[in-house]
A and B are shown apart, each in its own frame.
Chain A
Amino acid sequence: MRERTVLLVRVVGAIWGRRALTTELVRRELKLRYRGTVLGFVWTMINPLVFMVIYTLVVTYFFRIEIPKFPAFVLTGLLPWMMWFTEAMSSGTTCVVDHAPFVTNAVFPAEVLPLVAVGTGMMNFLFSLPVLLLLYVLFDVRLSVTAVALPLVMATQASLLLGLVYITATLNVFFRDMQYIVRHILTMTFYLTPILYDFARIPPQFHWILRLNPMTTVIDSYRRALFFGTWPNWRNLGLVLGLGAGLIAVGMGLFSAKKELFAEHL
């Protein structure tokens, strides 16, 4: 146990020592994606917007389910999911493999890579927030004081993602199927996360099933804080934050234990 703690402290120290590298890599990822143009960002935004339009069509007009201001409602859940969660999960799972030329370099601290993937996704999400606010203005959704919970909700999502990515990135070096498995799980989880629907409207006897998925609480918290103007369920959010911290400890431990074997497998 003490050894584990020492190991963790060392990993965190190594990451902290290379924060300049981390920011540089995040900046590069973003630049690569947006190529420094406004249009580049528009392309990234188009994806959730298209889904927003389609889901609005399907849910409000085909299914005739009444959720007021549905486009704003659904985009509030879509953005953290598409711009950040799936994005960081897929690029994070392949991060070590994708950066093979760096990882096989003598001095490169591979432990920053999952952080770069999660950080890039977070920036992506932050950049998309103005679009959400614009939609709020269009649909007359007023932000209330509960919006100050946003940083905490984001921190919870970040910790959950980091923990997961340290694990999947490590596994993917040894079993490349991991990236496909992750992709399928993401597709399935989308429907098991209250993005298209409102958690509060699900029959209570099913709540426990949805809660097995920690992203349920995260998405629900975004929606309460931003869209509904109510406070998140602190107990649930705290539990997910704790889960995230635990996953980070496990994930970083796994990653650094296997790190020196990466070069042989790339």
Chain B
Amino acid sequence: MTDAVVLEHVWKLFRRYPVRGHTTLKDLIVRGEWRKRFKGQQHVEALRDVSLQVPQGLVLGIIGSNGSGKSTLLRLVAGIYRPSSGRIVVAGRVAALLHLGLGFHPELSGRENIIIGGLAAGLPRREIRRAFDGIVEFAELREFIDAPVRTYSSGMYARLAFSVAVHVNPDILLLDEVLAVGDERFSEKSKQRMDRFKREGKTILFVSHGLDKVAEWCHEAIWLEGGRVRARGPAEAVVGEYRNSCAADGGFGTRARVRHG
């Protein structure tokens, strides 16, 4: 079976500084940021030497504590970020639901966003037209589809994002904690849709803190820690291992310890 996603020795570094926002010329000249930019700069190593093969049709769970690099990994696969070093090969059409607020233009209506999103994904106009009603129907946004997306509630937004992602007929689906949003009924509906994708043999990368869901639903899982793959294997085994380690830390000990200095 061929691999849908391959990562070879992937590193991703982020600059530690740009917390203040973007750099201005004043920073470059007056504050000497120029030097900082090119040498002696500190980096966050979000991913360290990650190698990974995901065969077609695999549902891979990705677990790990906050800041372990899960979202970064998905963004690299989505092509939003470029690896600092290493290689990523992705075979097939990707749909990504990375986090709330990504992908839609707030000033445009739901309709325009769907059309532009579809064209951006490389779908021909005729295919978008065909899928359009299905998308609106699934998202249950018929009355709101011509309102600007900024007027949507976060639940409506999530419904639209999910609906678009599953209707572009992706080969590879990237999900980052999204099933948690939306009301009970929609979450049930989206679960069914995900099950269908799984049955159809789509490749899915699924980031979640819902460990039970990962253990039950994913074929395999990886556990990221500090940007490295600490374990990979059958989902249940990896989740078990991760749970044990958390328990040994005293629940969310790692985080608590940081907080108390």
A residues at B contact (CB < 8 Å): 17-18, 20-21, 24-25, 28, 99, 101-102, 104-109, 174-177, 260-261, 263-265
Contacts and interface: CB of A to CB of B under 8 A. Distances in A.
Interface of B: 14, 18, 22-26, 28, 75, 78-82, 94-96, 98, 101-106, 108, 112, 115-117, 119-122, 124-125, 174
Contacts, number: 82
Q: Which 6 A-B pairs have the closest CB atoms?
A: A260-B82, A106-B78, A106-B96, A105-B103, A21-B119, A108-B120
A203 B28 CA distance: 41
A102 B103 contact: yes
Nearest to B14: A264
Contacts of A108: 103, 120
Contacts of A261: 82
A18 B122 CA distance: 7
A255 B160 CA distance: 31
A18 B119 contact: yes
A2 B116 CA distance: 34
A248 B112 CA distance: 30
Contact of B120 (A107, A174, A176): A107
A260 B25 CA distance: 22
Nearest to B124: A20
A174 B25 CA distance: 10
23 contacts: A18-B120, A18-B122, A20-B119, A21-B120, A99-B105, A101-B104, A102-B103, A104-B80, A105-B96, A106-B78, A106-B80, A106-B98, A107-B78, A107-B79, A107-B94, A109-B120, A174-B22, A175-B23, A175-B25, A177-B24, A263-B81, A264-B81, A265-B22
A106 B122 contact: no
Nearest to A28: B112
Nearest to B83: A260
Contacts of B101: 101
A260 B102 contact: no
B28 A24 contact: no
Interface centre among A24, A102, A104, A106 (most CB of B within 10 A): A106
Contacts of A264: 14, 81
A28 B116 contact: yes
A232 B124 CA distance: 41
A104 B120 contact: no
Contacts of A265: 18, 22
A265 B14 CA distance: 11
A21 B116 contact: yes
